Structure 1
Amino acid sequence: MADLLTVDQLAQMLDMHPRTIRRYIRDNQLKATKVGGEWRIRKEDAEMFIGSKVDELKSEAMNDIQGFIDGKDSEVEGKLQVCTVLDCYVENQEAVKISEIIMSYMNQPDPTRGKAKFQYFFDDTEKKGRYIIWGTPTFVGKVLSAVGESVQ
């Protein structure tokens, strides 16, 4: 079951609304199966889907980063806000593991997190995972430390 994602997990990873993910499933743009009445997406199918949407998602991510730099309203809350880009030159499987570490922090109840956001891309050509994380400095620091400890 660890290789299956829920609609909510994939939506959070892609910074999309779960209804959007369900629409992609309904329109046969994303493969999924019902398990116990809930949609589940295999990680391989999610990666294929993300790959087909990667240019659109990268463009949106760059716009979000530029908006952050320009001081436009952020979805992140609090007096202190951070947007960081982490590049990891690793194979795809290790990149997915790093993404899972970040997602576990995104899904944990943590008062230091506040409203946070996360996007992930993998570039096969460069063998590079790119992770964009928005949040409070304390929360982003915890996430970066956990990633740093996991990658040797």
Structure 2
Amino acid sequence: MKNYWTVEELAKELQVTTRTISNYLKSGELTGTKIGGQWRFTLEDIRKLTGEASLNNPITEFIENFTTPETFQQSLLALNIPIKNQEELETIRDQIIEQYNQVYSGGNRRFNYELLSPDYFRVILSGPIKYTLNFGAWLEQKFY
């Protein structure tokens, strides 16, 4: 897994010029670390710039937040879902979000997704055990 990206790599990934990356750095919209006189960017730096909702690792967040007796009856479910293209990703993502919003409206539930590769994206759910098991069963029926 790649830990750092250069200005050039980030510009290519975001489909902007290196000048745009420099402007983001000057304006403070992008933060990074200088290593050997060259800028390097972590995934968290990039997520802050692009505005992704989940800046923290949902698994770490789950472990840190659900350790008291009141929250111990929580569970975490992570699935890698195959996709054929960006359009299919958006369709599946929208179906999952709609189901997520309809099934359970209580607290202590989380939903994260991320594109792993052009062929897979990951869904991570956490919440009450019954909720995550039922949602997992729905995902299995719908997409596997």
Give the alignment's TM-score, normalised by structure 2. Answer: 0.50
Q: Which runs of 5+ in 2 are unaligned?
A: 1-46
- Aligned-partner SS, 1:120: strand
Instruction: Kindly indicate whether structure 1 or structure 2 has the higher relative contact order, using CA contacts under 8 Å at least 6 residues apart.
Output: 1
Could you give the per-residue CA deviations for residues 36-90 of structure 1, whole angstroms, max 9, x where no partner exists? xxxxxxxxxxxxxx8x728x666x242x312323xx224xx74411122211121
Gaps of 5+ in 1: 1-49
The match for 2:114 is 121
In structure 1, the residue matched to 2:126 is 134
The 1:110–1:57 alpha-carbon spacing in structure 2 relative to 1, beyond 3 Å, is: closer
* Percent identity of equivalent pairs: 19
Structure 1 position 93, deviation (Å): 2.8
Alpha carbons of 1:65 and 1:79: their partners in 2 closer, same or farther (altered >3 Å)?
Answer: closer
In structure 2, do the counterparts of structure 1 residues 119 and 78 end up closer, same or farther at CA, with 3 Å as the change threshold?
Answer: same
CA-CA distance at 1:109 after TM superposition? 5.9
Q: CA deviation at 1:104?
A: 1.9
Alignment-derived partner of residue 99 in structure 2: 105
Aligned AA (1:87): N
8 A contact 1:101–1:147 mirrored in 2:
no
State the structure with more CA Rg: 2
Q: Give the count of matched residue pairs.
A: 94
TM-score (structure 1 length as normaliser): 0.48
- State whether structure 2 residue 135 is matched by structure 1 residue 143: yes
Match of 2:82 among 66, 69, 89: 89
Q: Residues of 2 paired with 1:101 and 1:86: CA distance?
A: 15
Please give the secondary structure, in 1, of the residue aligned with 2:65: coil
- In structure 1, the residue matched to 2:38 is none
RMSD, aligned α-carbons: 3.1
SS at match of 1:115: coil
